[in-house]
């Protein structure tokens, strides 16, 4: 605020003491005029000596100053500042390009994501299967047609398609594969059925563990246990025979009586029709080598 100096008043450059500021104002309102305030003499020393800004006298708030707030000049709406934001058009263009670069989630992609997970009910509990992680191993179970009269299904389980135990996520894959096998078995079986377990061409590192096989047996629905008429193991190894011997205490005697060992594919063809049974190429090669040794 510029404060005009009239004649007789001391200039700011004067060495003399400035006059004391007025301690009262003309409040009758008859002669409105601008308020003239003269800055007091301030000692900027930081000690608490007399006259310092930190002295007790200066720290007290004076109560005798009376100011008419209505007479003070305040900016009206016309004097208010208007802040105009100047945006860089290039930055807007860049942000627009970034927004446009985000791919849109289409309905086809949503359906594809839904196909990556399958929800099944096993043992009256809802389970979710990670279909993407088990995609390379879905061939482990297949439908081999029917035998006898009616819808007596032949379920083929090819152990050579199991995942390698050296995988870092082996247990996660086997957990989801287990759910897939059980849920698929329930869909394939309508009446009585048999399981053909192709054990040939399966290295030790791909053989399922004892815990996994025990869990499979325990999670099979009672209907599936009852309707299972035969469990045929083709090309049994000493390892699979040992596994079955160890698990015998955990399985019923009825299930043990359903287990059959078959050494060659020729023997298997004498038990079941082979027209719809898919035999992997690796197992056919193993079978030919075994026949040469006989």
Q: Count of H helices and E strands in the chain?
A: 10, 7
Which residue reads 């075994």 in tokens?
290
**Strand segments (E) across 169-294:** 193-198, 228-234, 259-262
Q: CB 160: neighbour CB atoms within 10 A? A: 18
* 115: its two tokens: 């196909």
pLDDT of residue 38: 59
pLDDT of residue 131: 93
Confidence of residue 158 (pLDDT cuts 50, 70, 90): very high
Regarding pTM above 0.85, the answer is: no
Q: So what CATH class is 121-292?
A: alpha beta
Q: Distance between CA atoms of 175 and 180, rounded to whole angstroms?
A: 9
Question: Kind of pairing, strands 125-130 and 193-198?
Answer: unpaired
8-state DSSP, 74 = -
Domain residue spans of the chain: 121-292
Q: What's the mean pLDDT when you consider all of the chain?
A: 75
- What kind and span of H or E run contains 267? helix 265-269
């Amino acid at each position: 605020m510029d404060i005009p100096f009239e004649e007789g008043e001391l200039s700011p450059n004067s060495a003399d003491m400035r006059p004391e500021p007025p301690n009262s104002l003309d409040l009758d309102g008859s002669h409105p005029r601008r308020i003239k305030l003269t800055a007091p003499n301030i000692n900027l020393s930081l000690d608490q000596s007399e006259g310092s800004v930190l002295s007790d006298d200066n720290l007290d708030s004076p109560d005798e100053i009376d100011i008419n707030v209505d007479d003070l000049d305040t900016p009206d709406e016309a004097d208010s500042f208007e802040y105009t934001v100047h945006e860089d058009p290039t930055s807007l263009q860049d942000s627009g390009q970034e927004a446009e670069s985000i791919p849109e989630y289409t309905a086809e992609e949503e359906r594809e994501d839904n196909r990556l997970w399958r929800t099944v009910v096993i043992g009256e509990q809802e389970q979710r299967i990670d279909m993407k992680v088990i995609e390379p191993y879905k061939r482990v179970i297949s439908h081999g047609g029917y035998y006898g009269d009616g819808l007596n299904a032949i379920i083929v389980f090819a152990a050579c398609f199991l995942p390698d135990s050296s995988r870092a996520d082996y247990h996660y894959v086997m957990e989801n594969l287990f759910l897939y096998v059980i849920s698929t078995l329930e869909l394939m079986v309508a009446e009585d059925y048999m399981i053909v377990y192709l054990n040939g061409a399966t290295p030790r590192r791909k053989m399922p563990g004892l815990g996994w096989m025990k869990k499979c047996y325990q999670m099979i629905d009672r209907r599936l246990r009852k309707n299972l008429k035969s469990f045929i193991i083709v090309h049994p190894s000493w390892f699979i025979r040992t596994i079955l011997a160890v698990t015998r205490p955990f399985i019923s005697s009825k299930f043990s009586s359903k287990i059959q060992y078959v050494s060659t594919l020729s023997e298997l063809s004498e038990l079941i029709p082979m027209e719809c049974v898919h035999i992997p190429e690796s197992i056919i090669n193993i079978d030919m080598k075994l026949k040469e040794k006989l």
